[in-house]
Amino acid sequence: GSFDGGRRRSTQMGFLQSVQNFRIPKKNESVFLEIVILGCIYVLAFAVRLFSILRFESVIHEFDPYFNFRTTKYLVSQGLYKFWNWFDDESWYPLGRIIGGTVYPGLMYTSAIIFWILNAISLNVNIRNVCVLTAPFFASNTAIVTYLFGKEIRDTETGLVAAALISIVPGYISRSVAGSFDNEGVAIFALILTFYLWVKSVNTGSLFWSLLCSLAYLYMAAAWGGYIFIINIIPLYVLVMLACGRFSQRLYVAYTSMYILGTIFAMQIRFIGFQAVQSSEHMAAMGVFCLLQLVNFLSWMRTMLPGDHFRRLIKLVFTVVGSTTAVAVAIMTATGYISPWTGRFYSLLDPTYAKEHIPIIASVSEHQPTTWSSFFFDLHLLVFLFPAGLYFCFRKLNDANIFAILYSVTSVYFAGVMVRLMLVLAPAACVLSAVAVSSTLKTYMGHLKKPKAVAKKPKVDNTIPIQREIALVAIAGLTLLLCLYTFHCTWVTSEAYSSPSVVLAAKQGDGSRVIFDDFREAYYWLKMNTAPDAKIMSWWDYGYQITGMGNRTIIVDNNTWNNTHIATVGRAMSSTEPDAYKIMRMLDVDYVLVVFGGLTGYASDDINKFLWMVRIGGGVYPVIKEADYLTANGEYRIDKEGTPAMLNSLMYKMCYYRFGKTMTEYGKPAGYDRVRQVEIGNKDVELEYIEEAYTTEHWIVRIYKVKPEENRWAAA
């Protein structure tokens, strides 16, 4: 009775007491703190990328992700074997495209595996949602791997700061928001993972870490073409180590095993195949591999042979090796066995190359050189902390620090050449800034500790007065800067990088939001109202979206692998209607699609891209001359001053059909183009060979049907 009740009450009291007295043991306090911090960073990195889902809906953004989405859907529905051997007859009509052999499958496999795992445990998530959220999920994982990388470079505190910085850095967020289902989302994770495992394998010299490093390199090679960066920077690092006299057996073990295993693994990807041993971009790695074998052999010989025997051996080896290398390289270059650097990567070394020789590469906005404002916009505080971090690295040089320095400096160069490569600079900037921040905080936090009562020999230099106060000011200043960084990153993510591009939004005069969903409207119309084997001609930007959402065959798409085919489409768009009709009949085109922004003020429309069509078309067909479309002063005009070639081109006619009678703005005449801000030149557009099939609500997408040829011997 009461005796049992008393005992129960006392055990309850005992439990409460033990909860109250619960203290983490001192030595585990830091581990607990790390886990909590990393947990918060993980959630933060995921949460900050969800703006577009909250504002619009869970939709795939932009152009390239639609191709990745379509291939992932195919992989999930058809299986691994069919995907690996997929020949797509719905794009690049009539050529088709070997998707199985020309795609980097890492992203698709990653999403498919996540989808299969979730469905296996009865969480029936839609494949679209898996794809939309793959990038934020991997961004969280990148933060964790950056923590490990920072920890390996210096210490745990650096790792934590690096993870915090990279979770919100705008340079990385731009390519990994929810909905941006693109290769970089998983590739940056693979990049940092490879670098972390590389530094770990150099530090330990264990074959296990080299094996993991080569597996991470395989994942990177499967995910993104930027794996070339890894396979060139690691040999560069080895060369720098040799030059610094830091050759060690650990370095030999790490590099040789990683290179050879990485090469055989990378060759399993169909898209890479034999390039891993044949293309010029991989030659540096092979050269350093052979060099390292030689250096190791000579260092072994030095233990075997006494002094002057060794000198004679060195002379012999150098003559033999030098002559054979020279002869081999000469033969292989002369016979063309080693292919020269391909266009995309050559333009990284010579930025002016693409503009003169390959207009298609030059026309992509992501390939333009970076402006100063982009650096600050994408990195903010890190621009200033980056050199400070370099300084701190140089102060305490070891094998790992040299790698961090090399990675950062080379990525700064590449980020300056191409805007898209800001992405590679962002993690380097975060790690080095973390070094700077954590070193500074360590110095000043030490001053904040109250000195012990016992007067030991003071470690702190007492000649500088008010040390605690200065330390407080410095720490407060740094905290303020980091808070400003956070505000900037959140603002940038919210305003600049969270737009789906497929759905547009604008503020009306009374402040309410109006949504332009014209693209999806047009593709849905195509899907519902055209024959299943209809062929759509449009400029290559929209190819992936048409196949992804409209599920129709297209002529050219964003893969841009065949310049002549694109030039044919460009020529068709720039020619007069009869000439264009001949080309369209040759290509079996049923519908033509153009994007027109004149009614709404949407600036990325086809009229603004028209000069690129002319240039690319003119690059292959000399009959199209760019000068014909520009006025005598060299201006690009579509009003009354526009040239006849411009005003009679198919593109002009398709964009401005029926526009001459449309009122666009209050107080302006009919046919006023809101993007170019002029009244159009030819207001009475008549179409002979095509007819209007569909125009979306805000006239952004216009679809025209190509009329079949007239019957011969028509009744008179």
How far is Cα 676 from Cα 108, in angstroms, rounded to an integer?
40
d(CA 159, CA 154): 8
**Shortest CB 685 distance to other proteins, Å:** 56
Neighbouring C-beta atoms of residue 122, cutoff 10 Å: 6
Selected binder of other proteins within 1, 5, 25, 306 (CB under 8 A)? 306
**242 binds other proteins per the rule CB under 8 A:** no
CB atoms within 10 A of CB 695: 19
Minimum CB distance to other proteins, residue 214 (Å): 8
Select from 200-208, 220-228, 524-532, 576-584 the region that touches other proteins (CB under 8 A). Answer: 200-208
The dihedral of CA 484, 489, 490, 494: what is its sign? Answer: positive
Residues 6+ apart with CB under 8 A from 496: 170, 174, 377
In this complex, which beta carbon is closest to other proteins, that of residue 259 or of residue 672? 259
534 burial type by CB count under 10 A (0-12 exposed, 13-18 middle, 19+ buried)? middle
481 binds other proteins per the rule CB under 8 A: no
CB of 435 to other proteins, least distance (A): 25
Site for other proteins (CB under 8 A): how many residues?
Answer: 34
Cβ(51)–Cβ(90) below 8 Å: no
Residue 506 CB neighbour total at 10 angstroms: 11
* Cβ pair 158, 150 in contact under 8 A: yes
- How many angstroms separate the Cα of 642 from the Cα of each of 627, 636, 639, 678? 12, 7, 5, 11
- Work out how close the CB of 309 gets to other proteins at its nearest, in angstroms, rounded to a whole number: 5
The verdict on 205 binding other proteins (CB under 8 A) reads: yes
**Gap between the Cα atoms of 97 and 559, Å rounded:** 10
Among 296, 368, 374, 662, binds other proteins (CB under 8 A): 296
**Shortest approach of other proteins to residue 254 CB, angstroms?**
9
Strands 701-706 vs 690-695: parallel, antiparallel or unpaired: antiparallel
**Phi, psi torsion values for 672, nearest 5 degrees:** -95, 120
Q: Which residue has the tokens 């849905």?
A: 524
Give me the least distance between CB of 80 and other proteins, in Å please.
Answer: 14
Q: Give the shortest CB-427-to-other proteins separation in angstroms.
A: 27
> Which CB sits closer to other proteins, 118 or 207?
207
Residue in 283, 301, 364, 441 binding other proteins, rule: CB under 8 A: 301
x/- binding map, residues 248-287, to other proteins, per CB under 8 A? xxx-xx--xx--xx-xxx-xx-----x--x----------
* Nearest distance from C-beta of residue 63 to other proteins, angstroms: 34
208 binds other proteins (CB under 8 A): yes
Sole window of 298-306, 570-578, 587-595, 636-644 interacting with other proteins (rule: CB under 8 A): 298-306
**Smaller CB separation from other proteins, 242 or 475:** 242
Dist CA 466 CA 594 (whole Å): 70
Where in 16-55 is the site for other proteins (CB under 8 A)?
none
Pairing mode of beta strands 701-706, 591-595: antiparallel
Alpha-carbon distance values, 107 to 79, 221, 399, 582 (Å): 15, 11, 32, 40
Site string for other proteins, 312-351 (x = CB under 8 A): xx--x-----------------------------------
Least gap, CB of 473 to other proteins (angstroms)? 43
Report, in Å, the least distance between residue 604 CB and other proteins. 44
| 305 near other proteins, rule: CB under 8 A | yes
**Residue 298 near other proteins by CB under 8 A:** no
Q: Least CB distance from residue 158 to other proteins, whole Å? A: 23
* 211 forms part of the interface with other proteins (CB under 8 A): yes
Longest distance between any two alpha carbons in the chain, whole Å: 117
DSSP characters over 361-377? HHH-GGGSPPPHHHHHH
Token couple for 498: 């969270």
Q: Burial code of 629-664, b = ≥16 C-beta within 10 A, e = fewer?
A: bbeeeeebbbbeebbebbbebbbbbbbbbebbeeeb
CB 671 within 8 A of CB 656: yes
**Closer residue to other proteins, CB minimum distance, 204 or 560:** 204
Contacting other proteins within 381-410 (CB under 8 A): none
Which of the stretches 28-36, 90-98, 310-318, 557-565 binds other proteins when contact is defined by CB under 8 A? 310-318
Encoded one letter per residue, x for contact with other proteins by CB under 8 A and - for no contact, window 484-503 reads: --------------------
Query: Is the distance from CB of 636 to CB of 629 less than 8 angstroms?
Result: yes
Does 236 help bind other proteins (rule: CB under 8 A)? no
Supply the minimum distance, in Å, between the C-beta of residue 34 and other proteins: 23
Residue number, 222 or 592, with CB nearest to other proteins: 222
3-state SS, residue 16: helix
Q: Enumerate binding residues for other proteins (CB under 8 A).
A: 204-208, 210-211, 215, 248-250, 252-253, 256-257, 260-261, 263-265, 267-268, 274, 277, 296, 301, 303-306, 309, 312-313, 316
